[in-house]
Structure 1
Amino acid sequence: MNWPMVKLKDCCQVVGGATPKRNIASYWDGDIPWITPKDVSNLDEPYIYEAPEYISSAGYKAAATYMLPAGTVLLTSRAPIGNVAIAGIELCTNQGFKSLIPGQNVHSKYLYHCIKKFVPQLELLGNGATFKEVSKRVVEDFEIPLPPLEEQKRIAAILDKADGVRQKREQAIKLADDFLRATFLEMFGDPVGNPKGWKKNKIKKGVLDITSGWSAIG
């Protein structure tokens, strides 16, 4: 389908964040959830529902950060570029985000999947000597395909199922690896420490031949 390409600034509100001064105690330990890029770096699902740190109303006002509604797509814009999550609660962020508040014609889950797909292109648009960062203007001008809202919901549901299958497959592979490792150790013990006292021999005494690799010619 040839859906229109739309700039993010024309379908979302792009919002940055900020950090209250750490040396002012009254700015911290309040009731406003506040997150950093590391808080969305290893999520098991798209949504983030809690924050490891909270700021106070005074800290919120002093830092001039922005309160993001639930459903906002959180995009890390530096260190690294491209971690993506969805705010499951109202929260605010530090300056390491360019967050996307979807317009009425944008489905949060579709936007989430769409941004994840385009992360490599966003990374190429990053600038900076010490570490790469994408600016607010770059994010605002970035274009995504925007089908009708119902089609967005359908696409998001399909991609959710695909993600679920992928996660289950990864879990199954990990369980199989863990089982094989545990079985080996139970049968033979740790090959380094050799707690079972197995007799050691050189490899050449247990194999018929040892060969090197080769390259085809022509």
Structure 2
Amino acid sequence: MSGSLFPIVAVEDIAASDPGAIAIGPFGSAMKADLYTEAGVPVVRGNNIGPGRSLQGGFVFVSEVTADRLKRSILQPADIFFPHRGAIGEVGFVTQDHATPLLMSSSLMRLRVDRMKADPEYVFWFFKSLNGRKELLRYSSTVGTPGIGQPLSSLRAMRVPMPPLHEQREIAAILGALDDKIEVNRKASATLEEMARALYRSWFVDFDPVWAKLEGRQPAHMDAATAALFPDSFDDDGLPVGWESAPYLDFVEIVSGGTPKTSTYEYWGGDIPWYSVVDAPAPGQVFVHQTEKNISPLGFENSAVKLVPRGTTIISARGTVGKIAMAGCDMVFNQSCYGLRGKREQTDAFVYFATERGVEQLQSMAHGSVFATITRKTFEGLELAGPPISLMNAYEAVSSVWLDRIHALGLESRTIATLRDTILPRLMSGELRVGEARELVEEVA
């Protein structure tokens, strides 16, 4: 860990003295998949670790009885945890405000630090840094399933730069302020997405305005001009008068993806974002602003990729099937995805939520199981309640404002994350002093 201006200590020297301060999750035989329940105590796995302190979705659960039996593996606030197999190199943190007990999976190990020696958030942020990740991977093996050999011995031996405790707290506070702003943006985006989804369902699935007018009520949260676009009765087919059940493809054009030849170096590393399912945004965030891989203009010209504009819905069709995202800028995508463009102009939000509804219908037809693939024929089997274009335009006028705000919040969070990731290693090495970092943070957080 060359270049650090701070003393370097081993993890075992900053661990708390209580039993289980350095511990591994339950043995696999004690945490079998048949113990999972629909609700209960969340089990934290590697896929729940997010880019900051907040955990992300996809939890599995066990009963409180099972959790009590495995109580030595319950995580406490300020615990730091690491995958020792699978997603090695990642690190998670239990925030002080986390109200729900969390149980470590069998693939995790835990560190609980002595707060008189080290600040837990500082240690977490160190392991989020490039040097911290290198320290984790120093003990890893990629033979078979990636893992850390002798997990607890390895964790005890890992090295951490240790500035004075007051400086650790200041560093953690600076990085935490940036992370908090990203979290505020994430929650705001999720709220806005849910508002757009709820409006789609109200208008085009549950027909709430039609029911209101049928019962002699004024449709809620709607001006008179918009309310006048809805009929006040239903046809025999259960749809609002004047609406017809229409094929999904009457509203949507399908665009196929592609992949430039991976062995041709010149096709890659350009400035054209190339989307694959690994780039899918977190729940509630809608837009993908950047991709793990980019292609060059030469790769674009010599492959089947097609450029789609911002606002295009992209759905994964193979592998992890049914994940949807909206392009946050012009981009291309691989052949395991489809781009979905509205056949009428300015219907991006309608297409996105109609597609989400279509995925739910497919899952329902599969009786809750994962459907293996989506093809063009799959789309041919989907139908929508076809509203008049005037109502689609009215929906777009409202929801596009919310989606534009989500887009702006996503770009802001990307800028903040870039700043966080830039100052993180410099703070950890002592190259950037706390006062200088605070001035940078005050400009954005």
When the two structures are superposed, what TM-score results if normalisation uses the length of structure 2?
0.35
**The residue matched to 2:74 in structure 1 has which SS?**
coil
Using the alignment, how far apart are the partners of 1:62 and 1:35 within structure 2? 16
Matched, 1:95 2:210: no
Deviations 1:128-186 (A, max 9, x none): 63123121111111111122221101122333456689999xx999399756539xx97
Using the alignment, how far apart are the partners of 1:158 and 1:31 within structure 2? 35
Match of 2:33 among 22, 43, 54: 22
Match of 2:135 among 103, 121, 135: 121
Aligned to 2:171: 155
Using the alignment, how far apart are the partners of 2:157 and 2:5 within structure 1? 20
- Pairing of 1:1-218 with structure 2 (within 5 A): 2-12=5-15, 13-18=21-26, 19=28, 20-23=31-34, 25=35, 28=37, 31-40=40-49, 43=50, 45-48=52-55, 52-60=59-67, 66-88=73-95, 89=98, 90-104=101-115, 105-117=117-129, 118-127=132-141, 129-134=143-148, 135-160=151-176, 174=289, 178=327, 181=330
Using the alignment, how far apart are the partners of 2:165 and 2:94 within structure 1? 20
Aligned to 1:190: none
Deviations 1:108-132 (A, max 9, x none): 2211111122112321311363123
Unaligned runs of 5+ in 1: 187-218
Aligned to 2:417: none
Kept in 2: contact 1:35–1:51 (CA 8 A): no
C-alpha deviation, 1:74, in angstroms = 1.8
Count of paired positions: 179
Using the alignment, how far apart are the partners of 1:81 and 1:94 within structure 2? 14
Using the alignment, how far apart are the partners of 1:174 and 1:29 within structure 2? 33
Kept in 2: contact 1:68–1:101 (CA 8 A): no
Kept in 1: contact 2:23–2:109 (CA 8 A): yes
When the two structures are superposed, what TM-score results if normalisation uses the length of structure 1?
0.65
Using the alignment, how far apart are the partners of 2:58 and 2:144 within structure 1? 27
Using the alignment, how far apart are the partners of 1:82 and 1:129 within structure 2? 15
* Matching residue's letter, 1:6: V
**The residue matched to 1:98 in structure 2 has which SS?**
strand
Change (3 A) 1:179 1:66: closer
Q: Which has the higher contact order (CA 8 A, sep 6+)?
A: 1
Deviations 1:178-206 (A, max 9, x none): 56539xx97xxxxxxxxxxxxxxxxxxxx
State the identity as a percent.
Answer: 18
Unaligned runs of 5+ in 2: 16-20, 186-284, 291-308, 311-326, 332-340, 346-445
